[in-house]
Amino acid sequence: MKVLMAGGGTAGHINPAIAIAKHIRSKHPDAEVRFVGTHRGMEEDLVKKEGFPIDFIDIRGFKRKLTLYNLGSIKAVFTSQKEARDLLDAFRPDVVIGTGGYVSWPILHNAAKRGIPTAIHEQNAFPGLTTRMLSKEVDVVMISFDAVRPKLDKCRRIELTGNPIREEVIFADSVKAKESLGMTDKPIVLSFAGSLGARVMNENFISFITKTCADRKFYHIHATGTRGYLWVPDKLKEAGFDAGEYPDVQVKEYIYNMPELLAAADVVVCRSGAITLSELAAQGKCAILVPSPNVTNDHQNYNARAFSDIGAAKIIDESNLSGDLLKSEIYALLDDPEKRREMGEKARTLAVLDSNERIYETVKSILK
């Protein structure tokens, strides 16, 4: 079986594709799985680390005002079509699966025109532009929230599957993870500012780190994201933070061992992308969520409310974010283990642990 995975841009599109690909490979060890992405996103790094081959095409989004960049985007719409056709000719997949990002459109559009079985997975409560464009062409749209159904009219087929979760996340053990990290003597705070790096979150975590590093009350691992890492370490130094003096604080560009760190964490502070929330639920983690205000249809806020409404997470609006507020909220949870346990148990009620199998069965059903 030949499977072509198309998804890119941020980890929110790439990690679901990797989870689907690994589950298919577990069912069919001889399956040939390839990825398609762009050089502009994180897919080259993340996919290669998982050992899958990846090809690239040139496709990009549009900016809201007229710029030379948009002229390049228009050109890429046409050139990406030929690149997509060439890749399909070379690989001849039995099925093509998209997980979002601009790269999904030319690949699935051309695959559907050729009669190749196609499926796209939508992670969020509001369907993205790529999903809406492809929903009338592909054989099946796999969704994670029932609320998506009325927003996708004239689809051939919609299946509620939930979000794919990496098996490493589902089966990671908290005690073993803490022991492996050598962090068994005090709580662990895990924070991350998105795969690319949200500037507002990073700025406020610089403040939080400088206000709390001397307390040595907990371990803190913060991921800045790829763009954030270009400036956050320097700003921390300017603020007087010496990494050598405070080994309990680790500032990373990106977290590649997320299953281990997520299992070990006692408090997680992050955005509210759909895949992130699915993994928090799978691990039953107490979290403080800072929804991004810069996403289509404000879908991160809706995602976060699903957790906060049942007491599984606390929400801080980005407009209210500050180092002092982060300290107040995080310390309150660190000082209340019972509250953390209750929030984690409520989060776990939202987990869909068989989503990988649901997706596999759906994909299998469209194979000719």
Encode pLDDT of 297-319 as tens digits.
788 998 899 899 999 999 999 99
Check residue 129 and give left, alpha or beta (phi > 0: left; psi -120 to 50: alpha).
Answer: alpha
Q: Mean pLDDT across the chain, nearest whole number? A: 92
346/307 Cα distance (integer angstroms): 8
User: Which element (helix H / strand E) includes 13?
Assistant: helix 11-27
Sheet holding 313-315, edge to edge: 249-252, 219-223, 188-192, 267-270, 287-289, 313-315
pLDDT of 95 higher than 70: yes
pLDDT of 67 higher than 80: no
166/18 Cα distance (integer angstroms): 8
Q: Which tens digit of pLDDT belongs to each residue from 311-345?
A: 999 999 999 999 999 999 999 999 999 999 999 99
List strand residue ranges (DSSP E) for the chain, in order: 2-6, 32-37, 54-56, 95-98, 118-122, 140-143, 158-160, 188-192, 219-223, 249-252, 267-270, 287-289, 313-315
The pLDDT of residue 117: 98
Q: Which residue is listed with tokens 């283990």?
A: 337
The pLDDT of residue 78: 60
Structure-block tokens of residue 55: 């090809």
Q: Which tens digit of pLDDT belongs to each residue from 220-231?
A: 999 999 899 999
Side chain identity, residue 253: E
List of residues 6+ apart from 186 with CB closer than 8 A: 217, 218, 219
Q: Which tens digit of pLDDT belongs to each residue from 113-156?
A: 999 999 999 998 888 889 999 999 999 999 998 878 998 988 99
First to last CA, the chain: 11
List of residues 6+ apart from 368 with CB closer than 8 A: 94, 117
Q: Say if residues 76 and 38 touch (Cβ distance below 8 Å).
A: no
Q: Which tens digit of pLDDT belongs to each residue from 184-208?
A: 999 999 999 887 768 999 999 999 9
Give me the CATH code for the 168-348 domain, please: 3.40.50.2000
pLDDT-derived band of residue 71, with 50, 70 and 90 as boundaries?
Answer: very low
pLDDT-derived band of residue 287, with 50, 70 and 90 as boundaries?
Answer: very high
pLDDT-derived band of residue 60, with 50, 70 and 90 as boundaries?
Answer: low
Three-class DSSP category at 159? strand
13-17, 78-82, 131-135, 154-158: least confidently modelled range: 78-82
Kindly state the average pLDDT of the residues 259-271. 97
Structure-block tokens of residue 74: 């228009």
206/210 Cα distance (integer angstroms): 6
The second-level CATH assignment, the architecture, of 2-165+354-366 is 3-Layer(aba) Sandwich (3.40)
Q: What pTM value is reported for the model?
A: 0.78
Closest to 252 (Cα-Cα) out of 304, 187, 181, 185: 181
Helices (H), strands (E): how many in the chain? 15, 13
Structure-block tokens of residue 2: 């030949």
Per-domain boundaries in the chain: 2-165+354-366, 168-348
Q: Which residue is listed with tokens 């007491």?
A: 311
Handedness of CA 268, 181, 177, 13 (dihedral sign): positive
User: Which element (helix H / strand E) includes 297?
Assistant: none
pLDDT-derived band of residue 69, with 50, 70 and 90 as boundaries?
Answer: very low
Q: Say if residues 100 and 135 touch (Cβ distance below 8 Å).
A: no
The pLDDT of residue 75: 56
Number of neighbours of residue 251 by Cβ within 10 angstroms:
21
Residues above pLDDT 90, as percent of the chain? 77
Domain pair 2-165+354-366 / 168-348, same fold: yes
Q: Bigger pLDDT: 90 or 71? A: 90
340/316 Cα distance (integer angstroms): 17
Q: What is the DSSP string of 206-224?
A: HHHHHHHGGG--SEEEEE-
